[in-house]
Structure 1
């Protein structure tokens, strides 16, 4: 059995799924031992154990492949003599840790969702107030329209009254003129 340590460094190595990627590679190849951890803000440390052939295949694979979002600046390979966890033990521990992160993210998302719902409720209340004011304004416009209609009716009545009065006066004036012409003998 061969054991080794790999240190992968770069500006985007931790917190992008690199450990899961490495675990899947180790599992696919058939390594018997594996563990990985984030170190500082720019490194992942990996310990592996397996047959010489599988260890070499693991090394060659991680030299060529990385997660899509990774930005790797260096990969350092070293011999290692310490204990390496069986891959299934690491997988179980890692799954538990990742589930914990998922729960934390889920709780944060629910809190943010609650905040967003509160903001949406506030916006709906403001929208209801605005709609109420628009309705009030519409009612005021309707009242002005009714007053204008009333004024139009009054103007029509005034015009009719004025026309009747002018017609009467004109009739009287024509009659008086006819009398004056008759007395003066003007045809």
Structure 2
């Protein structure tokens, strides 16, 4: 019985600390499926080249972003065709996701995703070229962040006077979570008299 009373007393004492833990007031979320829908809409991206008088064509298919806690990875497959020879390679690259509080923009930028292209002949890989898939997904894909549109509100009071409330974004934070990007922030309201 004594232990229960002590536990209840401790819980009551620490409850105000737990309930006062602030949570972000504003948040914007970009889901992985939405970003990947953009890449699907771009469709296949193709190019041509020549290696020792042998023309070849490559096509980027299935480009996508994989979001895991703290990490954004760009992935794609690249099909290569030269005459009757066909092969497919996978690429994995760096996706940089940033938030700029000044411009209130969330940017998704594919930094680098190099893939070595090969022909396969009698089980041997014959190198053709190296391409950086990322260069075909420029410029960055941008979204609005959590900053409010207004930075102040002017109110007219009943006595005819005016009061201005300044609105400031504080503590912006970008977090890459499982399957989504989250940008959180708080707002600070200051009365200007």
Same-fold status (TM-score > 0.5)? no
Structure whose CA Rg is larger: 1
TM range (shorter): under 0.3
- The structure richer in helix per residue is 1
TM-score (norm 2): 0.21
Higher relative contact order (CA 8 A, sep 6+): 1
TM-score (norm 1): 0.21
- The structure richer in strand per residue is 2
